[in-house]
Structure 1
Amino acid sequence: MFDASRARRWTGFLLLPLLGVLTWGLSRPPPEPSSHRRPRAKRTARTPAPRSPPVLLARAPPPKAPPPPAPIRRTRPAPSPRALRLHQLGEKLGTLTPGMENPCVTPSEERCARTALGPFFDSLDALTSGTATAPTVISAFGNSLIAGDRIVDVVREELSGAFGDSGRGVLLVDRLAPYGPRARAGFAQGEWEPRTLGELQLAPLPFGISGVYHQSVSARARSRFTLEGEPRGTLWWLDAPEGGQLSVHSQGQVLATTEPQGDGQARSLAFDIPAGARTLDVVADGKGAVVLGVVLQRSRPGIVLDTLGVPSSDANLFLRSNEDLFRAQLAERSPRLMLFILGGNEAKRLEWGRSNLEEVEEGLRDFVRRARAAAPGSACLVVGPIDAVRGGTGPQRLVQRPYLDEVITVERKIALAEGCAFFDIFSAMGGEGSLARFIEAGLVHDDLVHPRGQGLDLLGQLITDALLSAWVEEGQVSTTEAVP
């Protein structure tokens, strides 16, 4: 007979493996679709390769350079109300649209990699884009036209209005004469004697980049500076023998004190300025203390222009500065643009037979090279002399001085040879006869040499316009041939 219970036991015994297989098959993930697979090769033992030295990281191929940042769109800043007035004045006096020779100093296959003014223009780009982290310093060397400060004051104020203001920079402890503005100097009442490298007889103590020093003529000589929110300052002083101590005060608080040793060395003393302080005093304890300058500027990005003008100076006289001191101070300032606004005194000395063209050329070349060695990261711009006329009376009164064209030619030659830009302000004024038009408009002093008032402002505007035009035009250059 058929045993049902035994049959059920055998059926369960046979179905258990089959159910296991089905369960395993259903639990597996579905295979990924693929192309026709090649049969796997038979594995064989691999002979180990000989060991080689590890690859040095330096030998690895360099990573791919990131793409360059998008170029800054350079747009000419809107002219200030003063600039508009000066443009109208220039039209009446026959000035021309100023042009700048900004040569290519680093050519490449497709475009000019660097122009003479490139480092300064890069700083303007950083100020425009908001990526700048420090002030952009301009160092302006020159003669009495620059010492009066009004020409470069226009350059400073126009650029600061467009790119930001970072303060005043290098200041003198007092004016160079009892007259003139105090914008670049402290206020002292005859207690300091100025000495300059422009004097006929060389002063006994060394000069720095300003070409000026002030020595106290009485105990407790004092000079006061009005503060404009500067957080820090620097006192440049000379450790003259028996010069005595100098101290810096603000709001009744002593901020810094020198420690003189009488070794004749120039020193730099930095100090912090309390927040909200309104004035700063530099005090000499005794007679004979020497101040080379006071640096006051803000730490925020913007424009700072150092006025480094000396009356009666030329490039050869600037070489009277102590070379080590000159280089140390200029390196400390770390300018992005150096202006050399010279030539008028060179032309006069050529006319008077006190110099020759070879000396003029050699002096300017050496001066530019010294400055560039101290600030190798700076751009440089040589500005030629303005129009000049003979003085006196009669038919020769307003005739152009001789040697002016020769000096312009020499300065242009040196500028382009030394990798600097060149600006012919004589041509921008309107060329020969332009100073006579300034004189007829009452814009020149009675000496027929020094412009005054708006005449100086107009010269500063010509330099500013030339710089801004060159900045915008350089951003549009695509080939080296397009760069003058």
Structure 2
Amino acid sequence: MTHSEVGWGGRRAVFHVLACCGLLAACEIGSEVRPLTAPEPVTAPPAAVVARPPSEAPRPPEPEPVPRRVAPEPTERTRSTQALAGKLGALGAKVDDPCVAPVGTGCARTALASFFESLDSLSAGTASGPTVIEAFGNSLIAGDRIVDILRDDLGAGFGAAGRGVLLVDRMAPYGGRGRTGYSKGGWEPRTLGELRKPPHPFGVTGVYHVATVAKARSRFKLEGEPRGTLWWLDVPHGGALTVLSGDTVLARTEPTGSGESRATRFELPAGTTSVDVVAEAKGAVVQGVVLQHARPGIVLDMLGVPSADASLYARLDDAALRSQLAERDPRLLVFFLGGNESKRLEWKRTDLETLRKDLGALLRRARAAAPGSACLVVGPMDAVRDTKDRGKAFTQRPFLEAVVEAEREVTQAEGCAFFNLYAAMGGKGALSRFHQSGFMHEDLVHPRGRGLDVLGHLVTDALLRAWVETPPASRRVAALSPAAGSPPGSTVEAAP
């Protein structure tokens, strides 16, 4: 198989779950059914004993048919990105999806089961609402292009249900506005990635915006959404916030100065093309705006924050985390972490034990707030030592592989899946290949352009292959046997 054939591009990946054979099997093993012989005749059998004719002998129940999972047809962009990944040596990797409900030698459920079941419902047309994905992480995803790939490719295959969580303004004076409102200023961003802890707690976005002037305004163009939610912080002396459509007031907050995170819901009349959020006074605080459809499809919330790591995510307020994740009701929590941890290990600002402890705490908090969700940790990409002399050969960051292994251990101990992005993009030396092809910024930390597309594709490809290859959970036990001799970047052979 050539590099360009790796992944789910090319042909649709079709996987049939067979009765007791094949690469992965879902079966129930029982004893052989043998015909019963007629009993020896007796003169006077006891009245209470009645011989059962052979035709009425009990039989083991027939195995229930197992649904077939078929990967969506890839878009032309996906095919092109897959070909580029092959040229860069980014052959992909499988998701480590541990069993969380073992039964004997089989497995009733894996860590990603609830997300896969949501994909099943979308694929079968039986879903009643959207499948929400929450993507937490650092600057690797804060620009949104990596998760754009995940959002767009899953949306193309299973339907899209809107934008989800948006910010009232950008996190910095630069960058795009694909995930924010349009504002001419008047909002000061504060993030959990700041060196010093900001004065107010954070919700799931890890960001809040403070109105620096009265009548600070942000406008959101609508895409037919029927309703929305304003997440705001009830700070003392912050003043009210108003949601407007033209001159029509759709909602107005009623602050009490409690300091708590609050949610104000509003209906959007048919034909509404935009909605404005307006701070009536200086000091009002907005944590986010939720805009999505009620229809089935994929919604992916980008919750990445520059400089974030598992330790800094401890700044999320527990009450806000619980209430906002309960409102979002996600089916998958994804955490893109490890890059900043490996830098801080190199700088001796943290240690591996702290990394393990803080990552475990973050996963437990998030899972407790969203108990119906699956969770996945995506490890760091390849990284090199900081150097001012760009003429020197790249030297791999010394703690990188230790971070990857520590994250793998913690995530599996916490019942989550793990994706080794470092291995998927080609392991040691991958960053050099990306750089030589023009896909790294000069800081040698952040990918750019189609390099970001490749990284996003690696995650999407791994998730879709795991969905196709994992036997669907049912009332019977699914016995999971990994495909023998299947390389990390290979795909299930398509049906003719």
Coarse TM-score class (shorter-chain normalised): 0.7 to 0.9
Is the 1:381–1:421 Cα contact (8 Å) retained in structure 2?
A: yes
Partner of residue 457 from structure 1, selected from 439, 453, 477: 453
Counterpart amino acid of residue 479 in structure 1: A
Q: Deviations over 1:48-69 (max 9, x none)?
A: xxxxxxxxxxxxxxxxxx9997
Counterpart amino acid of residue 216 in structure 2: A
Name stretches of at least 5 consecutive residues in structure 2 with no aligned partner: 1-60, 485-496
1:410 aligns with 2:402: no
Is the 1:150–1:457 Cα contact (8 Å) retained in structure 2?
A: yes
Q: Deviations over 1:179-199 (max 9, x none)?
A: 111111111122100000100
The TM-score, its normalising length taken from structure 2, stands at 0.82
The aligned counterpart of 1:424 is: 420
Deviation for aligned residue 1:322: 1.2
Counterpart amino acid of residue 117 in structure 2: D
Query: What pairs up with 1:78-477 in 2 under 5 angstroms?
Result: 78-109=73-104, 111-390=106-385, 391-393=387-389, 396-475=392-471
Q: Deviations over 1:313-347 (max 9, x none)?
A: 10010011112211221122111000011000000
Deviation for aligned residue 1:304: 0.5
C-alpha distance in 2 between matches for 1:253 and 1:67: 62
Deviation for aligned residue 1:109: 4.2
The aligned counterpart of 1:27 is: none
Distance verdict in 2 for CA 1:354–1:483, change over 3 Å: farther
Deviation for aligned residue 1:482: 3.9
Deviation for aligned residue 1:88: 1.1
Q: Deviations over 1:441-475 (max 9, x none)?
A: 11111111000111111100000000000000003
Is the 1:103–1:483 Cα contact (8 Å) retained in structure 2?
A: no
Query: What pairs up with 1:53-64 in 2 under 5 angstroms?
Result: none
The aligned counterpart of 1:22 is: none
Greater relative CO, 1 or 2 (CA 8 Å, sep 6+): 2
| Percent of aligned positions that are identical | 59
Is the 1:108–1:480 Cα contact (8 Å) retained in structure 2?
A: no
Q: Secondary structure at the match of 1:362?
A: helix
Counterpart amino acid of residue 199 in structure 1: E
Counterpart amino acid of residue 440 in structure 1: Q
What's the RMSD between the two structures over aligned residues? 1.8
Deviation for aligned residue 1:135: 0.6
C-alpha distance in 1 between matches for 2:328 and 2:136: 14
Deviation for aligned residue 1:70: 4.5
Q: Secondary structure at the match of 2:408?
A: helix
Is the 1:251–1:277 Cα contact (8 Å) retained in structure 2?
A: no
Q: Secondary structure at the match of 1:340?
A: strand
Deviation for aligned residue 1:396: 4.6
The TM-score, its normalising length taken from structure 1, stands at 0.84
Matched residue count: 419
Is the 2:92–2:425 Cα contact (8 Å) retained in structure 1?
A: no
Distance verdict in 2 for CA 1:133–1:355, change over 3 Å: same
Q: Deviations over 1:134-162 (max 9, x none)?
A: 11000000001111111001000000000
Q: Deviations over 1:245-296 (max 9, x none)?
A: 1000113311000111122121100110011111110000110000010000
Q: Which structure has the larger Rg over C-alpha atoms? A: 1
1:479 aligns with 2:479: yes
Q: Which has the higher helix share?
A: 1
